Structure 1
Amino acid sequence: MYQLTFFLEEFLAQYWQKKPTIIKGGFKHFVDPISPDELAGLAMEEEVDSRYIAKKDDQWEVQHGPLTFDNTPEDNWSFIVQAANHWHEGAAQLVTPFRQLPGWLFDDLMISYSTPSGGVGPHIDQYDVFIVQGSGKRHWRVGEKRDDYEEEFRHSALRQIKGFEPIIDEVLETGDILYIPPGFPHDGYSVETSMSFSVGFRSPKKQELLSTFADFVISNDIGDVHYHNPLLSTRSCNGAISEQDYHDLETMMRSLLDNPHLLKQWMGEHLSQNRHELDIVPSDPEWSNEETYQCLMNGDSFNRISGLRAFYHDAQPEIIFINGGQYTLPDECADTAKQFCNEQVVTAKSLGNAIHHPAVLTLLTQLINLGYWYLVE
C-alpha cells in the first residue's frame, strides 16, 4: 500500500492552488505499480486513451492510440496512458492516498513512459496535478503563473508555449512528487528512461456547469413554459425592453436555479459522470438478489470497478449518484448508501444488519448487473 510521507491537510493550507512545490521523498520506497510492458499493452487497446509523442530536431510527432511500437527511435519519445487507474488494479492503488481530497474533483491517473530526452514540451494545464516520479529520473522546470505566455503551434495536437523563466528547476528521483496548480507553465523531460505517474484533479468551469445544466433541463423536459403576462399594456416605444420585461424574464431563468431539488439532482448526475472510458462488463447472465446474498454470507466480497464515480449530498445521503445515474435507498439505509460511495469493497461485515434489507440487496444486485461492482471470491 502506498503512503504519503507528508500530511495532506498541511499541504492544502500552504500550497493547494497557490504555488507549485517539490516534495522530496513524497513516497518512501516507491515502486512502479505497473511495468513498461504492461503500460504498453494498455496503450495498444482500442478502449484505452493513449498517445505517442516524439521529437526529432525541431519537428514533433503525435499519434493517438491504439498504439503500436514498431520502429521507435532510441530516444526523444514518450507514450502516455490516460485513466490508467481504470484498467490496472495495481496502478489504481496509487490513487488511494489521495482519497482524502474530494472525489468529485479527482479526474484520473495518467502514466507516462519516456526514453532519454522524451517529453511533451513547455505547456500550461488547467488542473491540479501531483506528478509522482517512478523509476528513472526526470528534469522538471516550472514557471510563474502569468497571462501573457505566447502559444507556439509546433503540432496541432500539442498546445505548447514559447518558453518561461523557471521558479523550479530540479531533477526528480524515484518517490519525489511535483505538485503544479492550474495555470503554471511547466516542462519535463527524461534524464534517463523513466516512468511518471500524474494524479490529476480537475475543477469544472462555469461554462461547463451552465452548459450541462441546460442539457439536463432540456433532456428532462423541465421549464417547458412560455413567458406569460396577462397584464400587458401598450407602450410608446416599441423597441424597448422595459425593466419589468427584463425582471420577468430574469425571474423565469432564475426559477430554474432557485430549485435546490433540481440543482442537486443535476449536480449529482453531472459530477458522477466519468470523462474517461470505464472497464465496465455487465453481468450475463444477470444476478438475483438471492445469489448476491448467498455470496456475501459465504464471505465473498464485491469490489467497485476502478474509476467509477459515486457521490451523495450530505443533506440527502440516501440518494446516491453513480456514473451519471440516480439511485435511492430508504432513509433508514442512509449509512449503507454512503458506504457505496465512500468505500471500494462491500462485504457482509461492512453491511452489518443492512445485508438483510431487501432494498439494499436489490440495489447492490442492480449495480453488479450493470458491471459497476464485481465478485471477488
Structure 2
Amino acid sequence: MYKLTVNLADFLAQYWQKQPTIIKGGFASFTDPISPEELAGLSMEEEIDSRFVSNLDQNWHAEHGPFTEQKFAELADSHWSLIVQATNHWHAGAAELVEPFKALPQWLLDDLMVSYSVQGGGVGPHIDQYDVFIVQGMGKRHWRVGAKDIGQYKETKRHEALRQIESFDAIIDDVLEPGDVLYIPPGFPHDGYALEPSLSYSVGFRSPKEQELISNFADYVLAHDYGDKHMDKPTLSATEHFGQISADDKQTLTNMLMSALQDESTIKDFLGCMLSQSRHQLNIIEPEDKWSAENVAQHLANGGAIYKVAGLRALLHEEEPTMVYINGEVFKLPEAQTWLARALTDSEVIVDIEPNSHVVPLLTELINKGYWFID
C-alpha cells in the first residue's frame, strides 16, 4: 500500500493550482508497481492507448501503438520513451498508486500515465492544461519547470504528433529519485528526460473546458429530446427593416436558450452523466453467463466480495445521495440505501453486506453490465 509522506490537505491548500513543487521522498521506500516488460506488454494491446517517442540527435519521432515485439527488439540504447495511458485501468498493481490521491474528487481524476525512458528519453518541453503529480520510480530523471506566463512561450513543430514549445527559463531544476514527487499545475512549462533507464508515474487531474460542457450539454439535450419547440409570438408586427433582429426577438430567443440551463434537475443529471464517463477505455467485460439474483445473494451470504472495474467512475451529488451516476447511466436507490450509494461511489470493493431484496437486484444488474465483477 502506497502512502504519501505529506498531508495532502495541507499540500493542496499551499500548492494546488498555485505553484509547482517537488516533494522529496513523497513516497518512502518506493517500489515500482509495474515492470518495464509489463508496460511493454500493455502497449501491445489494441484497446490500450500507448505512444512511443524518440529524440536521437534531436530528430523527434512519435507514433501510437499497439506495438510488436519486433519494435522493441530494434530499439536503440538511448533517447526514447514508451508511454501508456490509463495504466491503472489495466494493471492492478499500478492502480494502487492512485489510492493515496483519493482525497481529491474522482470526477477530476483523469488517469495514471506510466512512462519508461532510457537515457536521454523524454517528450520535450511542453505545457499541459491539467494538474499532475509525477512520481519517480526506478532510475533518475532530470526535470525543469518554468514560470506560468500565457502567451510567452512559442510552440514549435518538431513532429506533428508532439505539441512542444521552444524554450523556457527554469524555476525548478532538479533530479528526481525513486519516491520523489513533482507537482505541476496547469499552464507551467516543463521538460523531463531520463538520466538512466527509469519509470515515471503521472497521476493526472483534469476538469472539462467550457467548450466541452457546452458541446456535451447540446448532445445531452438532443439525446433526451429536450426543448423541442419553436418561438411562440402571436403578437408579431410588421417591420420596416427586413434584415433586422428586434431587441424583443433577441431577448425571446435568449430566454429559450437559457431555459434549459435554468432547469436544475436537467443540469444535475447532465453533469452526473457526463462526469461519470471516463476519458479512457475501461476494461469492461460483460459476463457470458449472466449472474442470477439468487447466485449473487448466495455469494454475498458467504462473505464474498464484489469488485469495481478499475477506473470506473461512480458518482453522486452531495444534495441527492441516492441517485448514482455510473459510466453515464443513472441508478436511483431507495432512501434507506444511502449507505449502498456511498459504497458504490467511495469504495473499490463491496463486502460484508446483507443480501436483502433492495441490494441484490442492483448489484446483479451492475455485475451483468460488467461494471462490477466477482473474482
| Alpha-carbon distance in structure 2 between the residues aligned to 1:242 and 1:13 | 50
Once the two structures are superposed, what CA deviation does each residue of 1:319-370 show, in whole Å capped at 9, x if it has no partner?
11111111111122122112101111111x2x34xx31x2321111111011
TM-aligned CA deviation for residue 73 of structure 1: 0.2
Which amino acid in 1 is paired with 2:366?
Answer: L
Which amino acid in 2 is paired with 1:144?
Answer: A
Correspondence for 1:158? 162
* Preserved CA contact (<8 Å) 1:55 1:76: yes
Find the partner of 2:245 among 238, 241, 244. Answer: 241
Correspondence for 1:64? 64
Identity of aligned residues (%): 55
| Alpha-carbon distance in structure 2 between the residues aligned to 1:329 and 1:290 | 20
TM-aligned CA deviation for residue 235 of structure 1: 2.7
| Alpha-carbon distance in structure 2 between the residues aligned to 1:238 and 1:50 | 56
| Alpha-carbon distance in structure 2 between the residues aligned to 1:334 and 1:14 | 34
Return 116-125 or 64-73, whichever deviates more.
64-73
* Residue segments in structure 1 that go unaligned for 5+ positions in a row: none
Q: Secondary structure at the match of 1:262?
A: helix
Within 5 Å, which residues of 2 pair with 1:71-90?
71-90=74-93
Once the two structures are superposed, what CA deviation does each residue of 1:14-41 show, in whole Å capped at 9, x if it has no partner?
1000110000000001000011111111
Correspondence for 2:128? 125
* Preserved CA contact (<8 Å) 2:145 2:191: yes
Which amino acid in 2 is paired with 1:136?
Answer: G
| Alpha-carbon distance in structure 1 between the residues aligned to 2:198 and 2:77 | 14
Which amino acid in 1 is paired with 2:278?
Answer: N
| Alpha-carbon distance in structure 2 between the residues aligned to 1:362 and 1:70 | 50
TM-score (norm: length of structure 2) = 0.97
| Alpha-carbon distance in structure 1 between the residues aligned to 2:369 and 2:119 | 43
* Preserved CA contact (<8 Å) 1:329 1:360: no
Find the partner of 2:323 among 311, 319, 322. Answer: 319
Q: Secondary structure at the match of 1:94?
A: helix
Q: Secondary structure at the match of 2:73?
A: coil
| Alpha-carbon distance in structure 1 between the residues aligned to 2:39 and 2:328 | 28
Within 5 Å, which residues of 2 pair with 1:32-111?
32-68=32-68, 69-111=72-114
| Alpha-carbon distance in structure 1 between the residues aligned to 2:52 and 2:298 | 47
TM-aligned CA deviation for residue 270 of structure 1: 0.3
Find the partner of 1:337 among 338, 341, 361. Answer: 341
TM-aligned CA deviation for residue 244 of structure 1: 1.2
After TM superposition, where is structure 1 displaced by more than 4 Å over at least 4 residues in a row?
none
* Preserved CA contact (<8 Å) 1:278 1:308: yes
Once the two structures are superposed, what CA deviation does each residue of 1:78-126 show, in whole Å capped at 9, x if it has no partner?
1000000000000000000000001100000000000001000000001
Correspondence for 2:270? 266
Root mean square deviation of aligned Cα: 0.9
TM-aligned CA deviation for residue 234 of structure 1: 2.2
TM-score (norm: length of structure 1) = 0.97
TM-aligned CA deviation for residue 279 of structure 1: 0.7
Which amino acid in 1 is paired with 2:245?
Answer: I
Which amino acid in 2 is paired with 1:326?
Answer: V
Correspondence for 2:137? 134
| Alpha-carbon distance in structure 2 between the residues aligned to 1:196 and 1:162 | 23
Once the two structures are superposed, what CA deviation does each residue of 1:178-233 show, in whole Å capped at 9, x if it has no partner?
00000100000001110000000001100000000000001111111111111112
| Alpha-carbon distance in structure 2 between the residues aligned to 1:159 and 1:237 | 49
Return 104-113 or 358-367, whichever deviates more.
358-367
| Alpha-carbon distance in structure 2 between the residues aligned to 1:236 and 1:170 | 71
* Residue segments in structure 2 that go unaligned for 5+ positions in a row: none
